[in-house]
Each structure stands twice: as C-alpha cells, then as structure tokens.
Amino acid sequence: MNDEKGVAKVNSEFEKKKGKIVALPILDFFKINFISFLVPLYFCLGLFLLFEYGFIIALSIPLAIQFLLLPVFLLILYFIYLILLIEFTALWTRWWNKKSPPVEGVFKRVLDDKDSDEGKMMKYYHKRGFIIKFPMWLTSKSPFPWLVNRALRRISHNKIGKNVIYCDAYVGLEYTEIGDGTFFYPTSALSSHAVNTIFGKISMMKIKMGKNTTLYPGIIMGPNALTKDNNVIFPNTVLHKNWRGKPDKYYYQGSPGRPIDVDHIN
C-alpha cells in the first residue's frame, strides 16, 4: 500500500514538472538559424558567384589555373563565413542583452513564468546558450581554431587573454575571464553555471583564471572558481563552485583540488 502511494506521489510530481521544460519557441529557432547562420552563407555564395563570373569566366582563366585558385579561394570564403557567423550571432546577443542584461548570482530557475524578472532572465540565458553553440563548434573544428576565442569575446561577455589555447576542451560559454597563456588539455571543462536541482536554483558566476594556468585532462572548473598565475591543475581534478587555492601553492589535484608536492610525484 505504501509502495503504491509512493509511486502515485512520484507520478504526480512528474506530471507537475513535465510542463517545465526548456523549449525554444519555433519563431526564435527560425530566426536564429535562418538569419544568423544562413545569411552569412548566402553572402559567401554571392562572393563565389562574383569570383566565378566576374573573374574566372570574364577573363577566360585556363582550367589548370582554376584548379589552383579554387581551393585557396574556398578556404578564404570559409574564413569569411566564420567571421560573419560570429558577428551575426553577436548582433542577436547584444539585442537580447539590452532586453535582459546578463547578471551574476544565484537565481530561481523559473521556466513557467516568462513575465517575472527571473523568468525573463532565464529565457534569455537559454537563448544565449543556444545561439553560441554552433559558432563555437564550427570554429573549433575549422582550420582556424583560434576563432573560438573571437566567438567567446564577441558573442558572450567573456574576457579571453592572448595565446589562450583549447585542445578539444569544453569551453565556458559565458562569464569567463581567462589570463594570457592559459592552456586547456582535451576533456577539461569550464562551467560558469550550475543547476542545484532540476527545477530549483541556478548559479551563474564568473570563472577567473590567472595567467599561464594549465588545465590537464579530466578537469571540471565550476562557477566562481579562481586560479592564480602559473597554477597547474593535474588530471581528474574538481575545482568546485567557489573553489580557491592556497597562497604560494601552484600545483593541485584531487576532488576537490588540493595542493600537492610535485617532487614527491616525480
């Protein structure tokens, strides 16, 4: 009997929460995809046709020379497309930020009341998270991976220093401040937001990383975590929310990250 009541209670809670899903309205989905992603493509297609009819055909360029010019020109077009894609998506986010400026803190994850202040903030938070993913993925897989930093700077409110390198890592989409010379090994991850419960509260706070920080594989760095200059975070370490290191300690490992003696490891 008690088991049946327990199952009924769970089903009741599930039905209440079933409507509280993160869904992008179809009109917004259309605008984001067809305007932000396809307009740069059409522009590059126009450049290609101009190149073909205004240069290749007009000047009767021999076929052998065309085979030499075309790969270079297509690579240039790809680079132009990525730049335009970043700028178009940045236009959307700047417009959204005027409607609901991004703020740091711990907030209720309101999904069913879009008119409240926190509901409005959540709506634009999820929109920003959606629109940046395609430019981030495309630039990281392109022959121009340094454009990832441009996307982070232009589309979201991130401060990325010089010579910051991601090696197939999970970058923080927003609220990151990364110092010069920071290096991310594959599978390391930044997350400037954390959902405390599925429909409870969400923390959105800046991640700050000092100059020349090194993150080895399997590292997770949470909201409001802070590394100092020349910190080295060894594999499979968790820098949880609000994590802080020790003064004059540079090497960390564990869950949570604790200072370690490198000489002892060697």
* Chain center to CA of 122: 17
The tens place of each residue's pLDDT in the chain, 266 residues long, gives 444 444 444 445 444 444 455 555 677 777 777 777 888 989 999 999 999 899 888 888 898 888 899 999 999 999 999 999 999 899 889 988 988 888 888 888 776 676 777 778 888 888 888 888 889 999 999 999 999 999 999 998 899 999 999 888 888 889 999 999 999 999 999 999 888 766 578 889 999 999 999 999 999 999 999 999 999 999 999 999 999 999 889 999 999 999 998 765 55
- Burial of 47 (C-beta count, 10 Å sphere; 0-12/13-18/19+): middle
CA distances in angstroms from 242 to 27, 134, 198, 214, listed in the order given: 38, 29, 20, 19
**How open is the CA angle 37-39-40, to the nearest 5 degrees?**
75
So where are the chain's domains? 27-265
Helix (H, G, I), strand (E, B) or coil at 166: strand
Q: How far apart are CA 76 and CA 84, in angstroms?
A: 12
Q: How far apart are CA 162 and CA 165, in angstroms?
A: 9
pLDDT of residue 158: 92
* Segment 73-78 long-range contacts (CB within 8 Å, at least 24 positions apart): 73/48, 74/48, 75/143, 77/44, 77/47, 77/48, 78/142, 78/143
Query: Two tokens at 58?
Result: 């007009």
* Segment 159-163 long-range contacts (CB within 8 Å, at least 24 positions apart): 161/211
CATH architecture of 27-265: 3 Solenoid (2.160)
Query: Two tokens at 209?
Result: 């990383």
Is the bond preceding residue 256 a cis peptide, omega within 30 degrees?
Answer: yes
